[in-house]
């Protein structure tokens, strides 16, 4: 996944070639949700991210993450402050899941897609994750450890989820049957990432927490120590 090459303003409202102000008001935005709302509204139809030949505009990013947040809020038992693990490679799914989790008031736990089952289990337990968003390629490993964790909600992403219908079908079929990249697995009551992104957002704004600038947003794990990775 790469940022779009379309020139655009950064979060401060200045292009990379312009001088930044000598002072930034730390209270300009009340929360990360407020900051992202400003960014996506300001950039609109400009490209935000590109992956597998598909470019996601800021407008689409905002809409899909809003619908994803609506699913998390209405269809899971998660409440603001709960931990949600995101175990995805560099795909368009990641920024949607990240912003959707932030909008729902959740704490993101970024999980390395290359982790072994034991490493996954440790991080999920250590972080207190109650939900996970995971690519189907890793679901067999999740199946082997999920009973040892506190995870109750699973959202499964397919490689072609955000592609047009025919291209999506081709990518997903190829990944499973030609490249054998999707092993067999069984995860009870797992939700589809694509369906979560199509969730109805009616009444969402009035029910979600707005959050503050002091709220914990994410826990990142570092492998720069001996033994299992540590959260920071």
* 15 CB-near residues (< 8 Å, 6+ apart): 7, 8, 9
Structure tokens at 110: 């970024």
The confidence score (pLDDT) of residue 206 equals 44
Contact predicate 208/73, CB 8 Å: yes
Confidence (pTM): 0.84
Q: Give the count of domains, the chain.
A: 1
Measured CA to CA, the distance from residue 162 to residue 157 in angstroms comes to 10
The confidence score (pLDDT) of residue 209 equals 59
Closest CA to 4 of 48, 57, 42: 48
Of the CA atoms within 13 Å of residue 67, those in its CB half-sphere come to 14
Segment 55-110, tens digit of pLDDT: 999 999 999 999 999 999 999 999 999 999 999 999 999 999 999 999 999 999 99
Domain presence at residue 231 = no
Closest CA to 160 of 92, 85, 67: 92
Write the CATH number for 71.
Answer: 3.40.50.980
The confidence score (pLDDT) of residue 200 equals 81
Domain presence at residue 8 = no
What pLDDT tens digit does each residue of the chain (232 aa) get?
Answer: 655 545 555 554 545 555 566 777 878 887 888 888 888 988 889 999 999 999 999 999 999 999 999 999 999 999 999 999 999 999 999 999 999 999 999 999 999 999 999 999 999 999 999 999 999 999 999 999 999 999 999 999 999 999 999 999 999 999 999 888 999 999 989 999 999 999 987 755 545 556 677 788 899 887 766 667 767 6
Measured CA to CA, the distance from residue 138 to residue 219 in angstroms comes to 21
Domain presence at residue 40 = yes
Measured CA to CA, the distance from residue 88 to residue 77 in angstroms comes to 22
Domain presence at residue 208 = no
The confidence score (pLDDT) of residue 92 equals 96
Contact predicate 127/83, CB 8 Å: yes
Closest CA to 138 of 78, 88, 211, 69: 88
Closest CA to 193 of 4, 102, 67: 67
- List the domain range (segments joined by +) for residue 126: 30-202+214-223
Domain presence at residue 195 = yes
Closest CA to 116 of 34, 19, 2, 223: 223
């Amino acid at each position: 996944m790469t940022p779009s090459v379309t020139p655009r303003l950064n979060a401060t409202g200045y292009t990379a070639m312009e001088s930044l102000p000598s002072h930034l008001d730390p209270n300009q935005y009340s929360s990360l949700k407020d900051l992202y709302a400003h960014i996506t509204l300001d950039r609109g139809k400009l490209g935000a991210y590109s992956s597998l030949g598909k470019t996601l505009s800021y407008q689409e990013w905002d809409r899909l993450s809003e619908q994803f947040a609506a699913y998390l809020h209405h269809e899971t038992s998660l409440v603001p402050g709960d931990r949600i693990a995101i175990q995805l490679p560099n795909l368009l799914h990641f920024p949607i899941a990240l912003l959707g989790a932030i909008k729902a008031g959740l704490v993101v736990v970024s999980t390395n897609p290359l982790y072994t089952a034991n490493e996954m289990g440790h991080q999920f337990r250590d972080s207190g994750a109650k939900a996970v968003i995971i690519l189907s390629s890793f679901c067999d490993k999740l199946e082997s450890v999920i009973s040892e964790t506190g995870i109750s909600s699973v959202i499964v992403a397919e490689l072609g989820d955000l592609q047009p219908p025919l291209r999506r079908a081709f990518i997903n079929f190829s990944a499973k049957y030609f490249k054998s990249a999707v092993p067999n697995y069984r995860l009870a009551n797992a939700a589809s990432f694509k369906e979560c992104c199509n969730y109805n957002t009616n009444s969402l704004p009035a029910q979600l927490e707005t959050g503050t600038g002091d709220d914990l947003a994410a826990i990142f794990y570092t492998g720069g120590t001996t033994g299992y990775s540590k959260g920071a």
